[in-house]
């Protein structure tokens, strides 16, 4: 699948390998189970490491090793399964992960802006998604109500930016 990172199509420098396969020379993405099983060997290599989390696997299972990873891939098995949204936000805000968070699996155009807001910065997209469509999806929310990992000001914060309301001319009363 094509990979969009930083708003452009890029070559994927990681090889996702099955649990029994040997490690390639370049960057490797493994399952959480394989990471736990072969942790020492993976981290001792002089190559970037990533972990692919199923929707039922919390990123907190990575522990302090999360900061040694280059990429965390979050699976969306169905567009209705929103756990990966929570995992992305936990990775960015609670765990302080600064590497790549990649969305993979079944998600919809309408979800791209929300994915970006929670900290997902790379997307394995279907062949039919174009860059103009991707950018349009990210720009469809002009104002937001909830705080998130993207640190955009919420509507409430924007409204609170007005320290005082304009005063009425003397002698007039409000409504």
Domains belonging to the chain, first-starting first, are 3-160 (3.20.20.70)
Distance CA 33, CA 85 (A): 21
Q: What is the predicted pLDDT for the residue at 175?
A: 38
Angle at 87 between CA 7 and CA 157, to 5 degrees: 70
Q: What is the predicted pLDDT for the residue at 61?
A: 97
Distance CA 41, CA 108 (A): 37
Q: What is the predicted pLDDT for the residue at 11?
A: 96
Q: What is the predicted pLDDT for the residue at 165?
A: 40
Q: What is the predicted pLDDT for the residue at 141?
A: 82
Angle at 118 between CA 112 and CA 124, to 5 degrees: 45
Q: What is the DSSP letter of 97?
A: -
Which candidate, 156, 95, 143, 87, places its Cα nearest to that of 115?
Answer: 87
pLDDT in tens, the chain (175 residues): 899 999 999 999 999 999 999 999 899 999 999 999 999 999 999 899 999 999 999 999 999 999 999 999 999 998 889 999 999 999 999 999 999 999 999 998 999 999 999 999 999 998 888 999 999 999 888 888 887 888 888 888 888 884 444 444 544 444 3
Q: What is the predicted pLDDT for the residue at 143?
A: 86
Distance CA 110, CA 60 (A): 27
Instruction: Concatenate the DSSP letters of all residues of 34-87 into one string.
Output: HHHHTHHHHHHSSS-EEEEEPTTS-GGGGGGGGGG-SEEEEEESSTT--HHHHH
């Amino acid at each position: 699948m094509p990979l969009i990172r930083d708003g452009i199509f890029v070559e994927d420098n990681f090889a996702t390998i099955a649990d029994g396969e040997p490690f390639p020379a370049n960057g490797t993405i493994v399952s959480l189970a394989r990471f736990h099983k072969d942790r020492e060997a993976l981290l001792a290599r002089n190559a970037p490491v990533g972990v692919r989390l199923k929707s039922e696997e919390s990123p907190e299972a990575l522990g302090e090793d999360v900061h040694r990873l280059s990429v965390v891939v979050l699976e969306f098995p169905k567009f209705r399964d929103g756990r990966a949204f929570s995992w992305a936000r936990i990775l960015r805000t609670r765990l302080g992960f600064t590497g790549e968070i990649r969305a993979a699996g079944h998600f919809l155009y309408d979800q791209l802006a929300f994915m970006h807001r929670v900290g997902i910065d790379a997307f394995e997209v279907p062949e039919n998604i174009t860059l103009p469509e991707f950018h349009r999806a990210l720009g469809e929310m002009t104002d937001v109500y909830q705080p998130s990992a993207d640190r955009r000001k919420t509507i409430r914060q924007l409204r609170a930016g007005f320290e005082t309301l304009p005063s009425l001319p003397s002698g007039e009363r409000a409504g």
